[in-house]
Amino acid sequence: MITIKNLVKTYGTGTKATTALSGIDLEIAKGEIFGIIGHSGAGKSTLIRCINMLERPTSGEILIGKTDMTRLGKNQLQQQRRRIGMIFQHFNLLSSATVYENIAFPLRLVRTPKAEVDRKVNEMLELVGLAEHAKKHPAQLSGGQKQRVGIARALATDPDVLLCDEATSALDPQTTDSILRLLLDINRKLGLTIVLITHEMHVIQSICDKVAVIQGGVIVEEGPVIDVFLKP
């Protein structure tokens, strides 16, 4: 589903250059929940932002299916980005819009007919368990509910991949578990491929099939979670 080949990302130039990623190779299969764990500054955000080209890689390839994202022009890139949903640590919701409108937003961007928007938003509200909260604004919701809106918005356009950028790091342990359960549910129900970055071992151990450990811009270990973290 996702193939990353010799990915390098350097910020800045000359004496101020920082190499955030130096030669990342990864293979993420369809339907997998793939975790990337590492300390602050290890390169996690850069890596996940390169996957949907929010950051332009310096060199290397990022294939989603058979499409190399690094070779696309602006219009093609916009098309391909619809295959990738993303959720964030601080949710990134529109505070002046209702829950309903936040979820409808990506659909309206691609000029989806009104009846179809309505059908899809309601389907998403059901999926994340927020049907009764459609008319509220983000400020009226708990952290867990805000992230549920984030998930509903990310999935509204039927992406193949969901990228999660420290999606539970702003939540208390109990809410974290409810969001992780929801992600697992969605993965099983829709066969969605999920890539998540975190600095928390607990997140990896509770839902990931595979894990890569990143340190100083390099993958230092990779494999099924049981092999990497539960060795005797």
According to the binding rule CB under 6 A, does residue 15 interact with ligand ADP? no
Footprint (CB under 6 A) of ligand ADP, residues 109-138: 129-130
> Per CB under 6 A, does 142 bind ligand ADP?
yes
Spatial separation of the C-alpha atoms in residues 83 and 5, rounded to whole Å: 20
CA distance 141 to 123: 20
Q: Is the Cβ of residue 112 or residue 204 nearer to ligand ADP in the bound state?
A: 204
Token pair 């309505």: residue: 118
Q: Which of 179, 174, 177 is nearest to 152 (CA)?
A: 179
Distance set, CA 102 to CA 1, 77, 96, 132, 135 (Å): 28, 23, 9, 15, 10
Residue 147: closest CA among 113, 186, 111: 186
Contact 47, 195 (CB under 8 A): no
140 near ligand ADP (CB under 6 A): no
- The only residue of 58, 178, 205, 215 in contact with ligand ADP, by rule CB under 6 A: 178
- Using CB under 6 A, pick the residue from 143, 209, 215, 229 that binds ligand ADP: 143
46 counts as binding ligand ADP under rule CB under 6 A: yes
Interface stretch with ligand ADP, choices 39-47, 65-73, 83-91, 150-158 (CB under 6 A): 39-47
Among 3, 80, 157, 175, binds ligand ADP (CB under 6 A): 175
User: Which residues sit at the interface with ligand ADP, rule CB under 6 A?
Assistant: 11-12, 18, 20, 38, 40-46, 129-130, 142-145, 148, 175, 178
